[in-house]
Amino acid sequence: MGAFEILVIILSIFLAIFLIVGIVIGVLLVKVSLQLKRITDKAEKTASSIETATSKFTQYTSAAAIGSILVKQLNRVKKRK
């Protein structure tokens, strides 16, 4: 066996190792990206539900504030009479 054949064998072994490592890293990156997608979907759903709750709270709060103002005005009118 000459030096050239030994070099080809060594390079083939390193190429196979790097190919396997690359495939493993690729699979792990796909798994991580899927987990990140699930996390962002959950965060988006949570933000949406918080936004909905906040808008409903502000609707009820504004209605309560208007009612409170009306009651105060009616009490003032009653006190004047």
Domain interval for residue 24: 11-81
Which SS3 state, helix, strand or coil, does residue 30 take? helix
The dihedral of CA 43, 48, 49, 50: what is its sign? positive
- Confidence grade of residue 81 (pLDDT, cut at 50, 70, 90): low
Which SS3 state, helix, strand or coil, does residue 81 take? coil
pLDDT > 80? residue 65 = no
pLDDT in tens, 36-63: 999 999 999 999 999 888 888 777 777 7
In a domain, residue 6? The reply is: no
| Displacement of CA 29 from its chain's centroid (Å) | 18
Domain count, the chain: 1
Q: Say which residue the tokens 């996390």 belong to.
A: 39
